[in-house]
Amino acid sequence: MKIVKKIGSMLCALGFVGAAQAENITVIHAGQLLDEPGKPPKEAHSIIIRDGLIDQVLPTASFSEQSLGVADGDILEIHNLEDKFVLPGLIDGHVHLTSELNPQGRLQTVQMSDADRAMMGALHAKRTLMAGFTTVRDVGAGTGDAIFALRDATANGWVSGPRIFASGATISVTGGHGDGTQGYRDDIAHMFKASGNSGTCDGVESCRRAVREQVRRGADHIKLTATGGVLSNTAAGTEVQFFEDELKAIMDTAHSMGRKVTAHAHGKNGIDAALEAGVDSIEHGTYLDPESVRLFRRSGAYLVPTLLAGQTVVEIAESPNSFLTPPQRKKSLQVGPQMIEMARTAHDGGVKIAFGTDSGVSRHGDNAREFELLVKAGMTPAEAVYSATVAGADNLGMSDSLGTLRPGKLGDLIAVDGNPLQDISVLLDVEFVMKEGVLYKE
């Protein structure tokens, strides 16, 4: 149940009187509240949000409207979720909002404009938000500006979607995973690179320039492909593709400009090389081994396992109507089945794990399926929730604003019918979504 009150006269409510002091105040009464994942939930607690930021968390029994100090012109919303389990908005650390794997994907690369990509991204963004993910990290969206436009549109409230941290173009070697020109005619490939926004680089100076170019374009972080990948249309394997000096140039340049770096990496040598070079997180990590685990722990880097992507590519590759090219199909059947045990090895070894799905390979809006796979890989439901809240915020460098429901942080929260710490599958059906105190789903 929602109660909305506009306090004061009609002129006050319209903002003509006392506009400078007017506040939007939101109150959530939660039956169970997981305000700090990693700790036990609280019974019958309330959250007070003022102008998008959490102001108080207190027992519902001690709440009173009079204590809010509501003034003329303020708008007060009260949401009764006393039969629900409330927790922080979820964070997906690996998505590709402006695309989704489909039989026409390669054709769409040359058919769709940046504007088309932005419109498609808006659809995917809304589906993601409705699934309970109030923040995402987009890790590579071609060479155009669609993802930056979508990021800014969601921030301005023009489009309903999660908060987006975007990398722009992926830093890749020529012909490597992330160079999206494989299999196209040379003139078409040249057209892709002629925009000047390509992240393709070869050699130390070129790689420094590619990183700086993404920062100039507005990248919030830097994504590189340290190894080959599954869905690149080339039989180049899944091992290391950058040289050591190139990797170090990428890390040093990004860090000097205040950007974190994450590396797509499947093969062990590529994983270890990226960790040695100072990467902040590894995406996928398929063939990590005990030595890799030691490097993770020594560096403090996060692993983002993307188990749902592994399951998805196997399902597509095994389909009699598979639309994958021969190199893609072969790599899917090699890599996908390894990923659950990889996550188990990392978890058992004490590697820090942040939630990420690679949605865009899997369907946008199905992000919560990753939770069940993480639990299958040995995480407890509580650990899986932690990976998508506290750990997800830390991986983004946003622990001061996201991940928990504490005073001073952004008012991002969701509610479900059931306790996800006992049954992780309840997160597949999020019933209530709020971002910065704005209600998007109830």
Residue 105 has pLDDT above 90, yes or no: no
For residue 391, the model assigns a pLDDT of 98
The burial of 193, by beta-carbon neighbours within 10 Å (0-12 exposed, 13-18 middle, 19 or more buried), is given as middle
Out of 17-21, 159-163, 215-219, 235-239, which region has the weakest mean confidence (pLDDT)? 17-21
For residue 103, the model assigns a pLDDT of 82
Out of 88-97, 135-144, 259-268, which region has the weakest mean confidence (pLDDT)? 135-144
| Confidence label for 188 from pLDDT (cuts 50, 70 and 90) | low
What percent of the chain lies above the pLDDT cut of 70? 88
Regarding beta strands 302-304 and 281-284, do their DSSP bridges make them parallel or antiparallel, or are they unpaired?
parallel
Kindly report, residue by residue over 351-373, the tens digit of the pLDDT. 999 999 999 999 999 999 999 99
Out of 112-116, 306-310, 415-419, 421-425, which region has the weakest mean confidence (pLDDT)? 112-116
For residue 2, the model assigns a pLDDT of 66
Residue by residue, DSSP assigns 83-142 as EEEEEEPEEEEEE-TT----TTHHHHHHH--HHHHHHHHHHHHHHHHHTTEEEEEE----
For residue 328, the model assigns a pLDDT of 82
For residue 17, the model assigns a pLDDT of 46
Residue-range domains of the chain with CATH: 2-88+405-441 (2.30.40.10), 90-396 (3.20.20.140)
- In this prediction, residues 287-313 reach a mean pLDDT of 96
Regarding beta strands 163-166 and 133-138, do their DSSP bridges make them parallel or antiparallel, or are they unpaired?
parallel
Out of 142-151, 242-251, 408-417, which region has the weakest mean confidence (pLDDT)? 142-151
Kindly report, residue by residue over 114-151, the tens digit of the pLDDT. 899 899 999 999 999 999 999 999 998 666 799 999 99
Residues 6+ apart with CB under 8 A from 315: none
Residue that wins the pLDDT comparison between 175 and 164? 164
Q: What share of the chain is helix, strand, coil (3-state, %, to 5)?
A: 35, 20, 40
Contact indicator for 285, 341 with CB cutoff of 8 Å = no
What percent of the chain lies above the pLDDT cut of 90? 72
Residue by residue, DSSP assigns 176-198 as STT-TTTTS-HHHHHHHHHTS--
For residue 198, the model assigns a pLDDT of 73
- In this prediction, residues 55-83 reach a mean pLDDT of 93
- On the CB side of 363, CA atoms within 13 Å amount to 7
Contact indicator for 141, 97 with CB cutoff of 8 Å = yes
For residue 7, the model assigns a pLDDT of 55
3-state secondary structure of 244: helix
Residue 14 has pLDDT above 70, yes or no: no
Residue that wins the pLDDT comparison between 416 and 19? 416
Q: Where are the beta strands (DSSP E) in 206-305?
A: 222-225, 261-265, 281-284, 302-304
Cα of 40 vs its chain's centroid, Å: 25
For residue 22, the model assigns a pLDDT of 83
Out of 67-71, 141-145, 389-393, 423-427, which region has the weakest mean confidence (pLDDT)? 141-145
For residue 62, the model assigns a pLDDT of 94
Contact indicator for 307, 370 with CB cutoff of 8 Å = yes
The burial of 15, by beta-carbon neighbours within 10 Å (0-12 exposed, 13-18 middle, 19 or more buried), is given as exposed
Out of 98-102, 191-195, 206-210, which region has the weakest mean confidence (pLDDT)? 191-195
- In this prediction, residues 248-252 reach a mean pLDDT of 97
Contact indicator for 96, 264 with CB cutoff of 8 Å = no
| Confidence label for 234 from pLDDT (cuts 50, 70 and 90) | low
By residue count, the chain amounts to 442
Q: How far apart are CA 203 and CA 250, in angstroms?
A: 10
Average pLDDT, the chain: 90
pTM: 0.91
Residue 11 has pLDDT above 50, yes or no: no
